[in-house]
Structure 1
Amino acid sequence: MEPTTTTSAVPAPSRKRQDLLRFAAIIGALFVLNFVAQRFFFRLDLTEEKRYTMSPATKQLLTNLKQPVTVTVYLTGDFPPAFRRLEQAARETLTEMQVYGGGNLNYVFIDPSAAGTEAGRNQFYQTLLKKGLKPTNLGANENGKRIEKLIFPWAVVQAGGQTRNVLLLRGSQVAAPEERLNQSVEGLEYELASTIRQVAPPGGTKRRLGVITGHDELTNLQMADILTAWSQNYDVFRVDLNQVKDLRGNLDAVVVAKPQKPYSEVEKFRLDQFITHGGRAMFFVDALRVDLDSVSRNGAALATPYNLNLDDLLFRYGVRLNQNMLLDLNCGQIPLVTGMTGNKPKIEPLPWQLYPLINRFSANPITRNLDAVYLKFVGNIDTVKAVGVRKTQLMSTSRYTRMLPAPVPINFNDARLEPNPKLYKDSYQSVGYLLEGQFRSLFANRAEPGTTKYQPDQNPNAQPSKILVISDGDFLRNDVDPKSQRPMRLGYDRLSSTEFANRELILNATDYLLDETGLIAVRGKQITLRPLNKVQLAEKRQAWQALNLGAPLVLLALFGAVRAWSRKRRYARF
């Protein structure tokens, strides 16, 4: 008698019911997951630099928006991959910002070259130019070829009737194109967030900024551009130390802008008490006087030391402005008559080593990824011991620097001579410092000037503070149009038609000193550039192309074969 085999099979209706239940469970789980995701937002940023993570200061700014903000970006179009990276980074940053800004933040991308005709494109270009959006002809290397593209790397932020332009292509112009694009990507969050704060400021009282007067400082016209920029975020005042006995409680920061007359002991005491009690300060001070109005007929002048009565104050805080003058082969230009063309003099721009161009900066948020700045008749700064004070060198001259002690003869005709590089061996001289910490009063263990009131060594009401020191009084001085007498943008050099980053550095420093939200710290964001090996990429180009095209097809074929074998094995017993 043959043995019998019993096969247990699931009835067809029961199997169909199981499939339907499984399908319904999956759909239900998706609905629940979607419901939870709409109410509880979270993201995982697995990048090493946390490039997709907004800073707490940016999140707070966007969450507290009280009015709608619209960001219009003109950086889009048919770009090479190098430029598309910046466009994509701008999209990702704005998308992340929209998560926290909600319905109060909207953005749109517009292609300036989208018009169907050349006339239409030119007309739109002119519209953008009238808004102050200047195009950039940026180059990059793609597949061994040089590619240049006319782009408008700008965004326009609008809110409550106010409009601000945002330059998205930042970074140092001396850097390689790929590095400059990377620097621009690093600064996107700060540039957009700080501009949103300008057009839609958060509630609360503005910080108060006082510009010291009474010592032949720069006039309102000479500082018009930076005063206008400051007034967008701060309340700005002119302050006479002889009229205001106590700056504490009235101001949050003071600016010393190229004084040319000495401070009295009483004025210095009031300034010292303000700083040692937590007030912020920015010093733009020259160690030597260069009077260009007294230049002789042969183009000669003499730079002599100032007597501003501030040396001991700055020395107590940790720095010393040396009485010398720096010459740098990396420099600006001056116009000089080099001959005659008919009856008219021939004027040409010539290098002038006494106008250094600075492009060596620290990684501090004030100067990180900054373009070059322009200085005139500047000396170096040394640090001295100051307990409890942290000193950060912000910028320095180039490798080819020469230092001349005072008094320094200045002759503009020297620009006609070829400099000797062997004389330029005083490399990397400091011209800007940031001081942070608890500053000890210059008047500790002394009587208050004009009184017998004793000042203790350790003041119980002292507070930590921050000080910026730059050894160039003209650093925040803008040029004035000789015809219209209108102020020009700070940092703009008419001779070279170039705008340097003086304005940006000062605004960054002001935010660093006064912005308690910590938004300026976003400028310290760093994204590591990981370029491919272009030589190997060119050599193995066809192999990589074959792998990218063939690998998906092979995987798909393998998946189909395995699935067919699995189904055949599963249903073979039925």
Structure 2
Amino acid sequence: METTTNDHLPAPGAPAVPSRKRADLLRFAAVLGALLLLNFLGQRLFFRLDLTEEKRYTMAPATKKLLSDLKEPVTITVYLTGDFPPAFRRLEQGVRETLNEFKVYGGANLNYIFIDPSAGSTEANRNKFYQTLFKKGLKPTNLGATENGKRVEKIIFPWAVVSVGGKEKNVLLLRGSQTAAPDVRLNQSIEGLEYELASTVRNLVPGRRKIIGVVQGHGELTNAEAGDILGAWQQQYDVYRVNLSQMPDLRALDAIVVAQPKSPYSEAEKFKLDQFITQGGRALFFVDALRVDLDSVSRNGVALATPYNLNLDDLLFKYGLRLNQNLVLDLNSGQIPLVTGMEGNKPKIEPMPWQLYPLINKFSAHPITRNLDAVYLKFAGNLDTVKAVGVRKTALMTTSRYTRVLPAPVPINFNDARLEPNPKLYQNGFQPVAYLLEGQFKSLFANRTRPGTMQYQPEKNAQAKPSKILVISDGDFIRSEIDQKTGRPLRLGFDRLANTEFANRELVLNATDYLLDDTGLIAVRGKQITLRPLDKVRLAEERRRWQILNLGAPLVILGLFGALRAWRRKRRYAGFAA
């Protein structure tokens, strides 16, 4: 008699092999399906999470729109790469992260490459490539940092070149105050990367160019004297000379510039300025309250500073600002060359501190002046604010606390530069020398007749479109020094005596951008990244402990995970062995 056995069936209480295997297969299929679904959704839905406190990886809406609207390819070539110490790699990494974000929104129309200038196989090849960069205007920088308690210096090329449609523009990536600590300056540079790169792309992308009118006819700065800033403006805007007496109005302009006038404006000309500003036009005033004629210095080195009569005081007063008739002396100052003796039969000329040339390094946190280096003023007065309803006033620049204010008329003796200043006389504190005015400006001519006519200006014209005005109490602020050999203007802010370039040019360009840019891109300059330095003393004491922890902890965790997995596997399949 044939009998059957149940050897092929699991013993009572043993795990059901087919059901277990089926459950594993179903679990695997579910995980695989979920991964495929996530991949499918990830290709069609875009989102990014920025978990940093200051949102350092989040692009501003203006930057996203600019990059998303690109109509032609943009290529960014970065020369900031190579074998850097950690501090310098942080700046390089910041550039890479910014460009990665640019690529997300720019898509196929945004490309970037990194080139190491020092990667040549021979020294001759490297020097040849360096010369190529020099000809492009890319100058190297010797930047110092402290690594492990040691001073480290590295020659770097902190530049990028943005190319759009055959046009190129250089971008300096290393910004910030030169007087700041190296780590702080690097951090300031990282904060400004988005704005520097995005604004350069915007300037090169074809679009409607704003129009700037530079007022003439009152002894204002000539094209040669303001040559550098005029050239910088022309790269982004259409710039024209404007004679107010020959124009019926200024409606064709987007902004006007009043740069160191020396003779008064007529009432009719002032009316045109007023109507332009109250109807939303933007204005930049670089004006002196006192006349200092250096050509009339006496043999004893003495000149007299006397008040100008520009007929603009009531206009600025109506808008909320008063240009005081004085001069500010500051112990934090520039220098002038003075003859201090003779060397043989030649005079000996030395630079001497000159308190009437204030150096300004105290700025507001406004995007125009954030992370700005020092600027240079000459014969500047101070500014006061007065009540103007609906106008917001921001003091962009102030002097140091060690100042002295002299009311007009002011005798100026250049021989005083030879004397040691008396600190007890410099007790007037911080003095504002630049203001930004924003809001709806009431017309000076409201409820009055139009100059030269009997046409009445009703009160409704007093309230108008929002506008912005920049006022700096130094007419020389945008004056460039002239190269005596070539007769061409030097870069604005460059001081031959100190062989230093101050930030006058950058401030003016930032201010113009803020006044005229309707996209809000200039607000990106307000981005802030907080430095969180480690405790260097504690780091040195606990260095070995943290190295052992960083090396040993992953190995211990990996070993525990392996042991746990082997134990679970053994327990799970123990029934099969029986």
TM-score in same-fold range (> 0.5):
yes
Sort the TM-score into its range (normalised by shorter chain): over 0.9
SS at match of 1:523: helix
2:16 maps to 1:10? yes
Q: Residue in 2 aligned with 1:182?
A: 187
Q: Residue in 2 aligned with 1:514?
A: 516
SS at match of 1:242: helix
Q: Residue in 1 aligned with 2:284?
A: 282
Q: Residue in 2 aligned with 1:415?
A: 417
Q: Residue in 1 aligned with 2:5?
A: none
Alpha-carbon distance in structure 2 between the residues aligned to 1:219 and 1:401: 31
Q: Residue in 2 aligned with 1:195?
A: 200
Q: Residue in 1 aligned with 2:343?
A: 341
Counterpart residue identity of residue 303, structure 1: A
Q: Which of 98, 102, 120 does residue 97 from structure 1 map onto?
A: 102
Counterpart residue identity of residue 229, structure 1: A
SS at match of 1:573: helix
Shift of 1:343: 2.1
Matches within 5 A, 1:108-507: 108-201=113-206, 203=207, 205-248=208-251, 250-459=252-461, 462-507=464-509
Alpha-carbon distance in structure 2 between the residues aligned to 1:412 and 1:132: 38
Please, which runs of 5 or more residues in structure 1 have no aligned partner? Answer: none
Q: Which moved more, 1:339-348 or 1:148-157?
A: 339-348
Q: Which moved more, 1:33-42 or 1:413-422?
A: 33-42
In the TM superposition, structure 1's runs of 4+ consecutive aligned residues that sit over 6 Å from their partners are: none
Deviations along 1:85-123, whole A, 9 cap, x unmatched? 111010010010011111111101111111233333222
Counterpart residue identity of residue 390, structure 2: G
Alpha-carbon distance in structure 2 between the residues aligned to 1:122 and 1:88: 26
Q: Which of 85, 89, 98 does residue 90 from structure 2 map onto?
A: 85
Q: Residue in 2 aligned with 1:573?
A: 575
SS at match of 2:394: strand
Counterpart residue identity of residue 106, structure 1: N
Alpha-carbon distance in structure 1 between the residues aligned to 2:575 and 2:184: 64
Alpha-carbon distance in structure 2 between the residues aligned to 1:176 and 1:380: 30
2:527 maps to 1:525? yes
Counterpart residue identity of residue 407, structure 1: P
Shift of 1:297: 2.1
Q: Residue in 1 aligned with 2:3?
A: none
2:37 maps to 1:35? no
Counterpart residue identity of residue 221, structure 1: A
Alpha-carbon distance in structure 2 between the residues aligned to 1:569 and 1:426: 84
Alpha-carbon distance in structure 2 between the residues aligned to 1:96 and 1:252: 32
Alpha-carbon distance in structure 2 between the residues aligned to 1:548 and 1:376: 57
Matched residues, number:
567
Counterpart residue identity of residue 527, structure 2: K
SS at match of 1:458: helix
Counterpart residue identity of residue 12, structure 2: T
Shift of 1:32: 3.4
Alpha-carbon distance in structure 1 between the residues aligned to 2:249 and 2:325: 31
Contact 2:433–2:473 under 8 Å retained in 1: yes
Alpha-carbon distance in structure 1 between the residues aligned to 2:215 and 2:249: 13
Shift of 1:164: 0.6
Counterpart residue identity of residue 10, structure 1: A
Counterpart residue identity of residue 139, structure 1: G
Alpha-carbon distance in structure 1 between the residues aligned to 2:150 and 2:92: 21
Q: Residue in 2 aligned with 1:73?
A: 78
Shift of 1:5: 7.1
Deviations along 1:139-180, whole A, 9 cap, x unmatched? 111111111111111111111111111011111112111111
Q: Which moved more, 1:65-74 or 1:336-345?
A: 336-345
Counterpart residue identity of residue 567, structure 1: R
Shift of 1:432: 0.3
Alpha-carbon distance in structure 2 between the residues aligned to 1:221 and 1:157: 29
Contact 2:441–2:463 under 8 Å retained in 1: no
Alpha-carbon distance in structure 1 between the residues aligned to 2:478 and 2:89: 36
TM-score of the pair, normalised by structure 1: 0.96
Alpha-carbon distance in structure 2 between the residues aligned to 1:172 and 1:482: 29
TM-score of the pair, normalised by structure 2: 0.95
Q: Residue in 2 aligned with 1:547?
A: 549
Counterpart residue identity of residue 288, structure 2: D
Counterpart residue identity of residue 446, structure 2: A
Alpha-carbon distance in structure 2 between the residues aligned to 1:409 and 1:515: 43
Alpha-carbon distance in structure 2 between the residues aligned to 1:378 and 1:565: 81
Alpha-carbon distance in structure 2 between the residues aligned to 1:338 and 1:109: 52
Alpha-carbon distance in structure 2 between the residues aligned to 1:102 and 1:397: 46
Contact 2:442–2:463 under 8 Å retained in 1: no
SS at match of 2:50: coil
SS at match of 1:97: helix
Alpha-carbon distance in structure 1 between the residues aligned to 2:410 and 2:84: 52
SS at match of 2:186: helix
Alpha-carbon distance in structure 1 between the residues aligned to 2:520 and 2:384: 29
Larger Rg: 2
Shift of 1:460: 7.3
Shift of 1:337: 1.7
Shift of 1:28: 4.2
SS at match of 1:272: helix
Q: Which of 39, 55, 60 does residue 60 from structure 2 map onto?
A: 55
Shift of 1:15: 5.1
Over the matched positions of the two proteins, sequence identity in percent amounts to: 76
Alpha-carbon distance in structure 1 between the residues aligned to 2:427 and 2:506: 30
Shift of 1:7: 2.2
Counterpart residue identity of residue 120, structure 2: A
Contact 2:173–2:189 under 8 Å retained in 1: yes
Q: Which of 42, 46, 64 does residue 69 from structure 2 map onto?
A: 64
Deviations along 1:514-555, whole A, 9 cap, x unmatched? 110111111111111111111111121111112111211221
Deviations along 1:186-212, whole A, 9 cap, x unmatched? 1000000000112223x3x32211111
Counterpart residue identity of residue 11, structure 1: V
SS at match of 2:459: coil
Deviations along 1:200-254, whole A, 9 cap, x unmatched? 23x3x32211111110100111111111111222111111111112112x11111
Q: Which moved more, 1:160-169 or 1:230-239?
A: 230-239
Contact 2:164–2:204 under 8 Å retained in 1: yes
SS at match of 1:486: coil
SS at match of 1:127: helix
Q: Which moved more, 1:470-479 or 1:338-347?
A: 338-347
SS at match of 1:459: helix
CA change 1:533–1:368 in 2 (3 A) is: same
Shift of 1:31: 3.5
Alpha-carbon distance in structure 2 between the residues aligned to 1:426 and 1:131: 47
Q: Residue in 2 aligned with 1:45?
A: 50
User: Cα RMSD over matched residues?
Assistant: 1.7
Contact 2:440–2:463 under 8 Å retained in 1: no
